[in-house]
Amino acid sequence: MSLMFEEESGIDEVAERIASDDAAVRRIAVMELAEVSFDPEAELLAIKALSDADGDVRLEAARVLYEFDGDAVAQALVDALQDSEEKVRLAAAETLFENKDGSVAPILIKALQSTTDSFVMAALLRALREHRVAETQQIALQGLTHADASVRREAVGVLAYLKAEEVVLALMDAARNDADPEVRRVAVGSLVFSKTDKSCEVLQGALQDDNWQVREEAAFVIGKLGRQECVDALIAAMDDGYWEVCVKSARSLGQLKSRKAVEVLGSALGHGMSNLRKEAAASLGEIGDKSARPYLLQAQEDVDPDVRKLVQWALQRIG
């Protein structure tokens, strides 16, 4: 029995209420379709509800279609991306994204090839991202030059999930030159899949981007890739005006186990932001160099108990 409704309704009763003249009744009935999703008629009713005259009913239909899959559902959601109400369009886009049924990819690709609407394009690219369909590569590359930043951002996501080395140059170009900081940030993040040495130069450049979130992403990716060539750039980034960038830089220096970073990490143990002090202590422990001992001993009485714990852990690691 559903926790949402007082008693479980059969498909016939739900269908009867979906035909009600009262939009509020229809909306609740559409929500109840999730309770009878095992019945083939439930899918048909949910799809039909996407054409209801009431926007709230259509909204619930777009949401409840998460319970169903298949070509008919995918096509109905694609059509709903052009609904007259934004809330319905957003719900349809989210349901398409959550639907991991790879068999519907051809429908999404066909729709993508036949639309010029920026919202629809972005939603379809996002929905296709985790399907990792090779046919989307060329479409996504074209999307990198689209005038709308949301399309470019989702195109980067598709290419990143494909993990195709031949598109890395395009991703690096987006990381360097895109006018939108969020596109640059996502493009920098996509380089975590790259094996080319050329990415190091791009990441070092991204550590000096005008946008702090791009710099933060670059610091994170350098650590993930284990790029020792970027140690000096990370050390310089420890002086960033945004503590979030410093935290990621400290973490990556620990991952790289760079002895060159001991001094700057030791100095960070006196920073006013406890998150940075914790990361610095942890990274000094990861590096394990005895030259960090004086800094750690001085930080043993830190006001933050979590910092003190990490300082003790680091001292034990050093020995």
Other beta carbons less than 10 A from residue 41's beta carbon: 13
Give the span between the Cα atoms of 36 and 23, in whole angstroms: 20
Tell me what pLDDT residue 4 has: 44
Other residues' Cβ atoms within 10 Å of the Cβ of residue 122? 23
At residue 190, the 3 state secondary structure works out as: helix
Q: What is the pTM of this model?
A: 0.86
In a structure prediction context, what are the per-residue pLDDT tens digits for the chain, which is 319 residues long? 344 444 445 899 999 999 999 999 999 999 999 999 899 999 999 999 999 999 999 999 999 999 999 999 999 999 999 999 999 999 999 999 998 888 999 999 999 999 999 999 999 999 999 899 999 999 999 999 999 999 999 999 999 998 888 899 999 999 999 999 999 999 999 998 887 778 889 999 999 999 999 999 999 999 999 989 999 999 999 999 999 999 999 999 999 999 999 999 999 999 999 999 999 999 999 999 999 999 999 999 999 999 999 999 999 999 8
Specify the pLDDT at position 115.
96
Torsion 250-253-255-259 (CA) sign? negative
- Which are the contacts of 218, defined by CB distance < 8 A and separation ≥ 6? 188, 203, 204, 206, 207, 209
- Domains defined for the chain, CATH in brackets: 1-99 (1.25.10.10), 260-319 (1.25.10.10)
Give the Cα separation of 124 and 109 in Å (integer): 8
Q: Which of 199, 200, 215, 128 is nearest to 165 (CA)?
A: 199
